[in-house]
């Protein structure tokens, strides 16, 4: 989306946003080979988003471009605790129709062929039943061919138009196809009524998810891997300047570390460190590193 974020002086700064887009950026910065699948218009704002992705080393050949359509719009405010609130205008954004537009079958083929596919609950809230069916089928076929699926069941009731029962049903289908679950405990408690992170893990294992990381803010993360639960505390509790994308950055660092063969505990520490860095900076995207020589391109 196009994002307008209000600064302390009351003026709005132009940017671009989206939870999975943030994760794609940080995955690329962590050295992963990344492509991002979405649909945009052919307007100047869409061009800016595509250029921003390309500048981060993210492949853009899976971005469908549609005539006479523009991205969604987000207005963001940050409070004194570093938490952001949003207002959205995104009902007509082309990303909602990604799996119904001409070219959707190519997107599905690439998902099936990928090493890892990452998506979120916000991703799922965009699509119609037709789009969801096509996406879920692609994930299932991908797993049969060796792809791993990572899912952050990020939940915003407004995105589901208040239909939490539908959200739970759709999330359940995604979890059945997931190898990694990366939820935040706050969301799981609100949507499912989980009393503890341990309860979240117990519930998610019933879907067959083998590796689970429950993010719980300053209380660290609870990992379930190889049949065991391990708590990984944050190295240092910080006062956030802006908490936007902290969880998305954690997911990126965690998955990048696991793709490199690191153990879950070490991956969680990498996630904590990157999330802390993001929280200490105003805005979701840190300034680009000076040396990107080790970053892969697709």
Q: Give the integer Cα–Cα distance in Å for 32 and 121.
A: 22
- Which 3 state secondary structure label does DSSP give 227? coil
Cα within 13 Å of Cα(72), Cβ side: 20
Q: Which residues contact 71 (CB under 8 A, 6 or more apart)?
A: 1, 2, 16, 40, 41, 45, 46, 49, 93, 94, 95
With vertex at residue 1, the alpha carbon angle to CA 107 and CA 88, rounded to the nearest 5 degrees, is 125
The residues, ordered by sequence, that sit 6+ positions from 39 with a Cβ below 8 Å of its Cβ are 63, 64, 65, 66, 69, 94, 95, 97, 98, 101
Strand 211-215 to 180-181 pairing: parallel
* Rounded Cα–Cα distance for residues 1 and 18 (Å): 6
Query: Can you tell me the distance from the alpha carbon of 35 to that of 117, in angstroms, rounded to the nearest whole number?
Result: 10
Q: What is the C-alpha to C-alpha distance for residues 173 and 18, in angstroms, rounded to an integer?
A: 23
Q: Look at the alpha carbons of 161, 165, 166, 170 in this order and tell me if their dihedral is positive or negative.
A: positive
Q: Supply the residues annotated as catalytic.
A: 248
Q: Quick one: which of 207, 216, 229 has its CA closest to 187? A: 216
């Amino acid at each position: 989306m196009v994002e307008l974020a209000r600064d302390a002086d009351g003026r709005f700064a132009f940017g671009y946003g989206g939870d999975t887009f943030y994760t794609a950026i940080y995955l690329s910065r962590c050295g992963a080979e990344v492509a991002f699948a979405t649909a945009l218009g052919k307007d100047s704002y869409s061009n800016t988003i595509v250029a921003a992705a390309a500048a981060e080393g993210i492949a853009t050949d899976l971005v469908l471009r549609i005539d006479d359509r523009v991205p969604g719009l987000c207005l963001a405010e940050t409070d004194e605790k570093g938490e952001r609130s949003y207002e959205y205008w995104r009902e007509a954004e082309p990303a909602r129709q990604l799996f119904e537009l001409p070219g959707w079958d190519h997107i599905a083929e690439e998902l099936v062929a990928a090493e890892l596919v990452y998506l979120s609950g916000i991703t799922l809230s965009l699509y119609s039943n037709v789009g969801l069916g096509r996406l879920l089928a692609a994930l299932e076929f991908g797993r049969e061919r060796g792809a791993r699926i990572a899912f952050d069941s990020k939940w915003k009731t407004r995105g589901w138009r208040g239909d939490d029962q539908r959200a739970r049903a759709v999330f359940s289908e995604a979890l059945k196809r997931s190898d990694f679950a990366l939820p935040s405990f706050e969301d799981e408690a609100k949507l499912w009524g989980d009393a503890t992170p341990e309860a979240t893990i117990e519930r998610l294992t019933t879907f067959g998810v083998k590796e689970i990381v429950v993010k719980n803010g300053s209380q660290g993360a609870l990992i379930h891997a190889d049949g065991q639960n391990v708590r990984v505390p944050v190295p240092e509790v910080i006062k956030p300047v802006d908490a936007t994308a902290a969880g998305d950055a954690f997911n990126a660092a965690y998955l990048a570390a696991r793709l490199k063969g690191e153990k879950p505990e070490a991956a969680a520490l990498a996630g904590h460190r990157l999330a802390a860095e993001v929280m200490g900076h105003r805005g979701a995207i840190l300034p680009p590193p000076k040396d990107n020589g080790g970053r892969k391109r697709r």
